[in-house]
C-alpha cells in the first residue's frame, strides 16, 4: 500500500452525490445547473454564462467544490457522470496537499460512472482567458500576457454578492470599459456557488480556488487555457485557495489552468501595472464594498494597495480611490501572520525606495502593531500624537 492508496470507507457511508448537470440555452445566456447532496442537505447550484456560444455540460465543473466538501465532511464522493481522465488521475495529489495544509479536510475515495474518452481536438478554434477583477494581481497577469489573452472572465456572486445590484452594475460598467480599452471580449459568469461553498470552508483560504477552477472548466468549449492570477509571491507562499501547487492539477483534457504571477511581489506588480496610466486609474481592489464605493480607500486592502502605489511613487497619479491615503489608517491596521509578512515586504520596499519617512514610520508602526500592544505601545502612540499636533499647529500658523 502506498500513500496514494487511500483507506477505503465503509460501503454503507452515504456519499456526497453530484448529479449530472442540466444545460439550458437562452437568448443571451447559457445556464448550467446541478444538484449536490451532502448528507441530508441538497444544494442546487447554477452558473449563468454570457458572452459565449457554447459551454461545457460536463460534470467536471462541479467536481472541485464537491471534492472539498466531501473532504471536509469526511464522506466519499460519488460523481454521477463522466469525469475527466486527468481529474481522476490528479485528485489524490490535490487531496494530499489540501490534507497536509488543513488536516480537517480528510482523504476520501471518489467514484464516477466513467472516464472521459474524447478530449477536444486542437482543430477546434479556442482562445485564452483570464479571471479578471480589476485588482493589482489580475491586472498584472493580464497586462503581462496581453498579447496572448483575448478574453477576460468576470464573475458575479464571488466577491460581490448577487443581490448587491447597485455595486454589481457599477463594477460591471467599469470592467467592460477596461475590456473595451484593451480590445478584449468579455465572458460574464453569474454563480450562486457560494451558497454551497461557504458551508465547507473559508472563501479565501480554501474555497475560491476550487470555485474558479470549476468555472474555468465550464468554459472549455471556447477556451483552451485560463490564467488565475497569484495572490502571493514565491517568497510568501502559504496554504491558500488558489496556489501554484494545486491549480495546475485542476487542468483537464479540455483546458489548461495556470497559476500566474508568483515571480513578483505586490509592490513589483503595482510598479508594472502603474506604467499603464489607463490601468492605474481603473484598478479595483476593494473587497469590503463599503457604501458601494468602487475603492473605499479605507479598508485594509485599499490602504495596502495605495501603499504599494505610494512606494512606487505613482499613487498621486491614481484617481481610482474614493478617499486619499491617510497614514493613521496604516498604523491602525490589525495584522494576522500572513498579512504581517506582506506588510514587512512593504516596509523593506519603502525603505529601499527612500519613501517619505512619515510613510515608512507608519508602516513600521503597522508591522510592530503599536495600537494593539496595550500599555507597551503607549510611548510611541503618545509620540505620534505629539507629532500630529505639532504638524497641525504649523499648518494653522502658515
Ligand atoms: Zn476598500
User: pLDDT-based confidence at 381, cuts 50/70/90?
Assistant: confident
What's the mean pLDDT in 87-99? Answer: 97
CA atoms of 21 and 23, how far apart (whole Å): 7
247 C-alpha to ligand 1 centroid (Å)? 27
Q: Specify if 45 maps to a domain.
A: yes
SS3 346: helix
pLDDT, tens digit, 9 for 90 and up, residues 49-68: 999 999 999 999 999 999 99
Task: Name the grid cell of 269.
Answer: 506588480
SS3 38: strand
332 C-alpha to ligand 1 centroid (Å)? 15
Instruction: Classify residue 198 by burial, with Cβ atoms within 10 Å: 0-12, 13-18, 19+.
Output: exposed
Of the three residues 95, 115, 135, the one that is the final residue of a domain is: 115
Q: What is the CA radius of gyration of the chain?
A: 23
User: pLDDT-based confidence at 195, cuts 50/70/90?
Assistant: very high
Backbone angles phi, psi at 180, to 5 degrees: -60, -45
Of the three residues 79, 100, 115, the one that is the final residue of a domain is: 115
User: pLDDT-based confidence at 120, cuts 50/70/90?
Assistant: low
Q: Provide the mean pLDDT of the chain.
A: 92
CA atoms of 178 and 176, how far apart (whole Å): 5
Q: Specify if 378 maps to a domain.
A: yes
Phi-psi region of 236 (alpha: psi -120 to 50; beta: other; left: phi over 0): alpha
235 C-alpha to ligand 1 centroid (Å)? 26
190 C-alpha to ligand 1 centroid (Å)? 23
Of the three residues 115, 135, 155, the one that is the final residue of a domain is: 115
CA atoms of 209 and 64, how far apart (whole Å): 9
312 C-alpha to ligand 1 centroid (Å)? 20
292 C-alpha to ligand 1 centroid (Å)? 10
285 C-alpha to ligand 1 centroid (Å)? 7
170 C-alpha to ligand 1 centroid (Å)? 15
Q: Specify if 193 maps to a domain.
A: no
Q: Specify if 243 maps to a domain.
A: no
Q: Specify if 382 maps to a domain.
A: yes
**Domain range enclosing 31:** 16-115
pLDDT, tens digit, 9 for 90 and up, residues 125-175: 899 999 999 999 999 999 999 999 999 999 999 988 888 888 888 889 999
321 C-alpha to ligand 1 centroid (Å)? 8
Most confident of 32-41, 164-173, 379-388: 32-41
- Count of structural domains, the chain: 2
pLDDT, tens digit, 9 for 90 and up, residues 103-118: 999 999 999 999 987 6
Whether pLDDT at 376 is above 90: no
SS3 1: coil
* Residue 369: other Cβ atoms inside 10 A: 16
User: pLDDT-based confidence at 383, cuts 50/70/90?
Assistant: confident
11 C-alpha to ligand 1 centroid (Å)? 49
CA atoms of 21 and 83, how far apart (whole Å): 12
SS3 45: strand
CA atoms of 93 and 33, how far apart (whole Å): 27
169 C-alpha to ligand 1 centroid (Å)? 17
pLDDT, tens digit, 9 for 90 and up, residues 238-283: 999 999 999 999 999 999 999 999 999 999 999 999 999 999 999 9
Q: Specify if 204 maps to a domain.
A: no
244 C-alpha to ligand 1 centroid (Å)? 27
91 C-alpha to ligand 1 centroid (Å)? 36
288 C-alpha to ligand 1 centroid (Å)? 6
Whether pLDDT at 211 is above 70: yes
Are the CB atoms for 303 and 330 separated by under 8 Å?
Answer: yes
Amino acid at each position: 500500500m502506498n500513500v496514494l492508496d487511500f483507506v477505503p470507507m465503509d460501503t454503507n457511508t452515504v456519499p456526497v452525490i453530484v448529479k449530472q448537470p442540466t444545460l439550458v440555452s437562452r437568448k443571451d445566456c447559457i445556464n448550467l445547473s446541478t444538484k449536490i447532496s451532502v448528507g441530508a442537505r441538497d444544494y442546487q447550484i447554477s452558473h449563468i454564462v454570457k458572452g459565449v456560444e457554447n459551454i461545457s455540460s460536463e460534470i467536471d465543473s462541479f467536481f472541485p467544490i464537491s471534492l472539498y466538501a466531501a473532504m471536509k465532511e469526511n464522506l466519499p464522493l460519488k460523481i454521477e457522470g463522466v469525469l475527466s481522465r486527468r481529474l481522476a488521475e490528479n485528485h489524490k495529489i490535490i487531496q494530499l496537499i489540501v490534507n497536509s495544509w488543513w488536516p480537517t479536510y480528510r482523504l476520501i475515495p471518489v467514484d464516477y460512472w466513467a472516464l472521459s474518452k474524447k478530449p477536444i481536438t486542437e482543430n477546434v478554434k479556442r482562445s485564452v482567458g483570464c479571471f479578471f477583477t480589476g485588482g493589482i494581481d489580475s491586472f498584472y497577469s493580464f497586462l503581462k500576457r496581453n498579447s496572448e489573452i483575448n478574453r477576460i472572465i468576470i464573475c458575479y456572486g464571488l466577491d460581490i454578492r448577487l443581490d448587491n445590484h447597485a455595486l454589481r452594475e457599477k463594477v460591471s460598467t467599469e470592467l467592460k470599459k477596461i475590456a473595451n480599452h484593451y480590445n478584449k471580449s468579455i465572458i460574464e459568469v453569474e454563480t450562486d456557488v457560494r451558497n454551497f461553498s461557504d458551508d465547507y470552508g473559508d472563501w479565501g483560504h480554501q474555497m475560491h480556488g476550487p470555485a474558479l477552477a470549476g468555472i474555468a472548466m465550464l468554459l472549455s468549449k471556447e477556451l483552451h487555457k485560463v490564467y488565475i492570477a497569484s495572490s502571493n509571491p514565491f517568497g510568501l507562499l502559504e496554504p491558500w485557495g488558489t496556489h501554484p501547487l494545486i491549480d495546475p492539477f485542476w487542468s483537464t483534457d479540455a483546458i489548461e489552468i495556470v497559476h500566474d504571477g508568483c515571480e513578483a511581489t505586490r509592490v513589483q506588480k503595482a510598479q508594472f501595472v502603474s506604467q499603464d496610466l489607463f490601468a492605474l486609474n481603473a484598478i479595483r481592489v476593494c473587497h469590503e464594498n463599503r457604501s458601494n464605493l468602487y475603492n473605499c480607500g479605507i479598508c485594509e486592502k485599499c490602504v495596502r494597495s495605495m501603499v504599494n502605489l505610494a512606494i512606487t511613487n505613482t499613487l498621486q497619479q491614481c484617481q481610482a480611490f474614493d478617499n486619499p491615503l491617510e497614514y493613521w489608517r496604516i498604523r491602525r491596521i490589525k495584522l494576522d501572520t500572513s498579512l504581517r509578512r506582506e506588510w514587512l515586504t512593504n516596509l523593506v520596499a519603502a525603505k529601499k525606495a527612500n519613501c517619505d519617512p512619515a510613510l515608512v514610520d507608519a508602516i513600521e508602526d503597522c508591522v510592530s502593531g503599536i495600537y494593539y500592544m496595550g500599555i507597551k505601545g503607549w510611548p510611541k502612540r503618545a509620540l505620534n500624537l505629539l507629532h500630529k499636533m505639532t504638524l497641525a499647529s504649523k499648518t494653522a500658523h502658515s
